[in-house]
Amino acid sequence: MADKTKNKTENKTGNWALNKSRISQATGRLGAGLDTLRTWWDGAQVWQRYVVYLLLVVGALILPAPAIGSFMSPESDWTTILIHPIGTYVLLAMGLNVVVGQAGLLDLGYVAFFAIGGYSLAYFGTEYGWNFWATLVMGTMMTGVSGVILGAPTLRLRGDYLAIVTLGFGEIVRITASNTDEIGGARGITNIPHPPPIFGTEFALDPAPYYYLIVSVIVVVIIFAKRLEKSRVGRAWAAIREDEDAAELMGVPTFKFKLLAFATGAMIGGLAGTVWAGKVIFIEPNNFPFILSATILAAVVLGGQGNIPGVILGAFLIAWIPERLRFLAEYRILIFGAVLVLMMAVRPEGLLPSGRRRAELAEGTGGMGAMGAEVAGPTATDAAIPEARS
Amino acid sequence: MTQQDTVQDTAASDGQALLEIDDLTMAFGGVVALKNATLTINTGEIFALIGPNGAGKTTVFNVVTGVYRPTSGQVRFAGGRIDGMKRFRVTKGGVARTFQNIRLFHNMSALENVMVGADAHHRTGAIGAALGLPWHHREERRGRELAREMLDYVGIGDRAGDVAKNLPYGDQRRLEIARALATDPKLLLLDEPAAGMNPAEKQSLQALIRKIRDSGRTVLLIEHDMGLVMHISDRVAVLDFGELIAEGLPHEVQNNARVIEAYLGAASDAS
C-alpha cells in the first residue's frame, strides 16, 4: 500500500518534470524571439524605426475592428475592453514605470493618483460644470501636486520603508473618499460629464471615440516619457536607481529628481483617471482598491520595468488575459494567477526588459537599493596593504 | 602623457589656500574617526593624505564632500564654508571625488556615466526635456561632447559605448576619474586611485594625475602606494588613528620618526 502511493507520487513528479521541461522549452523560444526583436531594434535605422511606429499607430487604429474583437474578447464588447481595462492599464503602467522602472522607487499606492484624477473630473464636472478638457489639465496638475505632497515627506525613505508609506497613502485616499460626503462618500459621484464633441464626433454611448481619445493620450505620454528617459532627467533617474549616494556626489540633486519622478508618475496616473472617468459617468471609492496598485505593479514587472514597450505589453496582457479567460467563469482568476506565476518563473526580468534593468536584476540589486551597487575591486585591499607596509 | 617629466612649479606660484580643514572632529558615537584635524590644501598642488588603514583618510573625504556633517570644526572651500552642505551642492561648487570601492553606475555605458557628471552644471528640467526644447538639445550635445573629451583625456575614449562593469578594473578607475572631471572640479579628491593596478597602469595613472594638476586643478589624494605618493606629491600629510601626525614635503614626512612608528610600530628599544 505504502509502495503504491510512493509509485504514484514518483509518477506524478515525473510527469510534472516532463511538462515543466516542455513549458520551459516553449517559453525559452518565446524569450529568444523577444530578445532577437530587441537586438534588431537596437541596431535599426531611423527610417526603420519610423516604419515600425507607423505600423504600430495603424495597428492601434484598426485594433477595435470586430474581426479582431471576435477572437480577442468573444464574451464582451472588444472596444470597451480596449478602453478599460486595457487602455487605462497601459497608461497607469507607463506612469508607474517612471517611478518604479526608471527611478527605482517602489510605490504600492499608485492607484491613489488614478483616483485623484478621476475624482477631479467627477467633482469639478458635476459641481462646477467644468469642461472635460479644462478638468483634464486641472486634474493632471492636481495629481502632480499630490505626488509632490506625498513625495516631499516620504522620499527621504528608501526601499521597503517607502513601499509601506505609499501603500498607506493609497488606502488613505480611498478611505478619505468614502468618508467625505462632499465628494459623494461611499456612494460615489454619478453623472460625470462626457467630453464635449471634437470635430463633430460625439462622446456618448459609442465607445469608439473614447478609444481614439485614450490612444491619443497614450501616444502623447509615450513621446514625453521617451524624451524624458533619454534626457538628463532619465540619466539622473537611472543613476539614482543604481547608486543613490554616488549620484548625489556626482552633482545629481537626488531628492529633487525623486520628487520629479513621483510627480511625473502621478500626473500620468491622474491623466488616466480623468480620461477613464469621462467615459464611465459613475465612480465610487471601490473603484480604487489596493489590488489595482498591485496589478499595475505586476504589469510593469511582467512587461519589463524601465522599458516602455515592455511595460505596455505587460499592461496589455494583464488587462486582457482575464477578459479572454471569461469563458472559464470563476476559474479565470485562478488560471490568470497561474499564468502570472509561470511567466515570472521563466522570465523574471520581464517580457521586454531594458538592457540595463535586466543586468541590474541579474546582479541581484534589482535597482531597489542603492547600497547593492557597491562592488569592491578584485584586489583592492590585497594589493594595497603590503605596499603600505613596505 | 607628455608632461610626465616636466615638474611644474605652478603649485608654488598659485599658493593660495583652496581647501581649509579647520580643527575638524568627526565622531561616530564613541568612535572618534578624526580628532582636531587641521589641514590646508593650496591651489594647484598635488596633496597626498596617507596613513595606515582605518586612520580616517576616507572620513576626511566624506566630510569634505558632505557625506558626513562634522561633529565640530569647519571646512572652507575657496573661502566659503562647505561643511554640512548638501552633497550635490558641494560637487557643483567645484569639489569632485572618486571612491575607494569603485562606485560607477555599473549598468550604464561609460559615456553615460561621464554624462551624469557633466549634467551637474546643466539646467534643463523635465519640461524642457519632455517638449524637446532647443536649449535642451544644445545641453545634451555639449554634455555628450564633454563626456567624450573626458574619456579621451583619461585614455579610455575607445570604450565609450561599453557598459561600465564590463571594463577592466584599471579602466573603471579611470572612468571614475573622467566622471568626476566632467563636473569641472577645482579640487579633485582621489581615493586610492592606484589600488589594484599593475605597475604599468600605475605609471600612466601617475602621468594622468600630473596632467590633471597641470590643467589647473588641485588634487587631493589618498594612496597606499608609497612609491607613487612620494613621486608625484607636492606635499604629504599623515593620519594615524584620526590624528594628523605629520605634514610636509614628501622626503620630510618619509623620515619623520612618528610616521615610521605609525607604519612599522614602535621599535622595542625606542625608549
B195 in contact with A, Cβ within 8 Å:
yes
Inter-chain touch A232–B225, beta carbons under 8 Å: no
Q: Give pLDDT tens digits for B221-257.
A: 999 999 999 999 999 999 999 999 999 999 999 888 8
Query: How far is the alpha carbon of B119 from chain A, nearest alpha carbon, in Å?
Result: 7
B57 in contact with A, Cβ within 8 Å:
no
Residues of A in contact with B164 (CB under 8 A): none
Of A371, A384, A374, residue with least CA distance to A104:
A371
CB B33 within 8 A of CB B27: yes
What is the crossing angle of helices A111-127 and A254-280, to 10°? 50
Residue A17 pLDDT greater than 70, yes or no:
no
The predicted structure's pLDDT at residue A363: 65
CB B192 within 8 A of CB B99: no
Mutation target to probe the A interface, by most A beta carbons within 10 A, among B62, B89, B106 is: B106
B224 in contact with A, Cβ within 8 Å:
yes
Q: How far apart are CA B155 and CA B181, in angstroms?
A: 13
Q: Give pLDDT tens digits for A129-174.
A: 999 999 999 999 999 999 999 999 888 887 789 999 999 999 999 9
Q: What is the share, in percent, of chain A residues with pLDDT greater than 90?
A: 55
B108 in contact with A, Cβ within 8 Å:
yes
B28 in contact with A, Cβ within 8 Å:
no
Q: How far apart are CA B213 and CA B10, in angstroms?
A: 9
Inter-chain touch A260–B126, beta carbons under 8 Å: yes
Residue A34 pLDDT greater than 90, yes or no:
no
- Mean pLDDT to the nearest integer, A352-361: 74
The predicted structure's pLDDT at residue B218: 97
Nearest CB partner across the interface for B179, out of A250, A357, A363: A250
Nearest CB partner across the interface for B105, out of A242, A251, A378: A242
Q: Which residues share a beta bridge with B188? A: B96, B219
Residues of B in contact with A385 (CB under 8 A): 53, 224
Residues of B in contact with A389 (CB under 8 A): 263-264
Give, for A323, the enclosing helix (H) or strand (E).
helix A308-324
Q: Give pLDDT tens digits for B162-184.
A: 999 999 999 999 999 999 999 99
B81 in contact with A, Cβ within 8 Å:
no
- The phi and psi torsions of B80 (rounded to 5 degrees) equal -105, 150
What is the crossing angle of helices A208-230 and A232-242, to 10°? 70
Residue A353 banded pLDDT, cuts 50, 70, 90: confident
Q: What is the share, in percent, of chain A residues with pLDDT greater than 70?
A: 86
DSSP, residue by residue, A15-71? HHHHHHHHHHHHHHHHHHHHHHHHHHHHH--HHHHHHHHHHHHHHHHHTT-HHHHHH
Query: What is the set of domains in chain A, with CATH numbers?
Result: 75-333 (1.10.3470)
Q: What is the ipTM of this complex?
A: 0.89
Nearest CB partner across the interface for A231, out of B101, B140, B263: B140
Residues of B in contact with A383 (CB under 8 A): 195-197
Q: Give pLDDT tens digits for A265-302.
A: 999 999 999 999 999 989 999 999 999 999 999 999 99
The predicted structure's pLDDT at residue A44: 82
Inter-chain touch B108–A356, beta carbons under 8 Å: yes
Nearest CB partner across the interface for A251, out of B91, B124, B196: B91
